[in-house]
Amino acid sequence: MYPDDFYYTKDHEWIQVKEDKATVGITDFAQKQLGDVVYVEMPKVGTQLEFHQSIGVIESVKAVSDIYSPVSGEVIEVNTDLNDSPELVNQDPHGKGWFIRLKIGDETEFEKLMSADDYEKFLEGIEE
């Protein structure tokens, strides 16, 4: 369910690293909690993000939820497909529903994140 090569946060974001760049999205658990996603607000390309800074908002029919940057860095790309098809977040949260790409600022920040195993254990704690 949760890809092994991603890192995860307690706010239910995932981040996948490729060299000095990373892709960020929300987890399957998060999209299920939100329900039907109907609107996404994303940061501008070029925005400098700090660790755990709000990078945007996801709205479902019922709820509004902030998304936080798992690490610091510079926004290099946003998923503009989500403007017209926000439902991609529900359909493919770990793939086509990605949110932003960033240039990683500080690699040591990954030590604060969870592995897939840790995240699944974390979810078990929530669901109990």
Partner 1 sequence: MKKTRLNSSHKKLGGKMIEFFDWEMPVEFSGIINEHLAVREKAGLFDVSHMGEILIRGRQALDFIQYLTPNDAARLTPKKAQYSALTTPQGTFIDDLLVYCLNPERYLLVVNASNSDKDFEWIFIHREGFDVEVENKSEDYTQLAIQGPRALEILQPLIEINLKEMSPFGSGWGKIEGEEVLVSRTGYTGEDGAEIYTLSSQPEKIWETILERGKNYGLLPVGLGARDTLRLEARLMLYGNDIDETTTVLEAGLGWLVKFEKGEFLGREALLQQKEEGIKRKIVGFEIIERGIARPHYPVFIENSEVSEVTSGTFSPSLEKSIGLTYLPIEYIEVGSEFEIGIRGKRAKARVVPTPFYKRGE
Q: 7: which residues sit within 8 A by CB, 6+ positions away?
A: 14, 15, 16, 17, 70, 110, 113, 114, 115
Q: Which amino acid is at 26?
A: I
Stretch that binds partner 1, among 38-46, 72-80, 104-112, 114-122 (CB under 8 A): 38-46
Considering beta carbons, is residue 70 or 86 the nearer one to partner 1? 86
Q: Does 126 bind partner 1 (CB under 8 A)?
A: no
Which of 20, 36, 50, 117: binder of partner 1 (CB under 8 A)? 36
CB of residue 35 to partner 1, shortest distance in Å: 6
User: What is the side-by-side strand order in the sheet with 13-18?
Assistant: 6-8, 13-18, 21-26, 100-104, 73-78, 48-49
What residues make contact with partner 1 under the rule CB under 8 A? 35-36, 38-39, 41, 57, 59-62, 64
